[in-house]
Amino acid sequence: MVVKIVNNSDNALPQYETNGSAGLDIKSAENGLLKPGQFKLITTGLRVEIPYGYEIQVRPRSGLAKNYGITVLNSPGTIDADYRGEIGVILINHGQYDFEIKSGDRIAQLVIAPAERIQWQAVGSLDSSTKRGEKGFGSTGK
């Protein structure tokens, strides 16, 4: 699949780091500081033209989460096919220490995924003969 991209940053285009990677690492286009408990929209300088029928999901990087407590606040974030503005990543610092962000740092991953559109069918009842039925939160165990 080919996706059109405009790069208004000094960074290279997002890329897969290994042959088996599902996500493309995306980089910060700015410098900043996240204090513990603080969240901030980080710019990337990138704009994309996603094919209709797809979305791009913005996901955290596991190393940032494990090592520093940094994650994507609205994870996974969705970039819709008709959005043409700059990609931004809302990062939050759940760690105990200040976290410095430098332009060029890998801050999140982008995963392209099918986004099938549905039509609702309003009905009076649903098939509840499944094993789970209407049991909700925590009903399937630990």
Q: How does DSSP classify residue 137? A: T
For residue 24, being part of any structural domain is answered with yes
For residue 120, being part of any structural domain is answered with no
pLDDT, tens digit, 9 for 90 and up, residues 63-121: 999 999 999 999 999 999 999 999 999 999 999 999 999 999 999 999 999 999 999 99
CB 60 within 8 A of CB 93: no
First vs last Cα of the chain: how many Å apart?
A: 39
For residue 90, being part of any structural domain is answered with yes
CB 101 within 8 A of CB 30: yes
Q: How many domains does the chain have?
A: 1
pLDDT, tens digit, 9 for 90 and up, residues 21-62: 999 999 999 999 999 999 999 999 999 999 999 999 999 999
Question: What is the reported pTM?
Answer: 0.88
CATH number at residue 26: 2.70.40.10
CB 45 within 8 A of CB 29: yes
For residue 43, being part of any structural domain is answered with yes
For residue 30, being part of any structural domain is answered with yes
Range of the domain at 99: 4-114
For residue 123, being part of any structural domain is answered with no
CA dist 3 and 13 (Å) reads 12
For residue 132, being part of any structural domain is answered with no
Residue 62 has phi, psi (to 5 degrees) of -60, -35
For residue 133, being part of any structural domain is answered with no
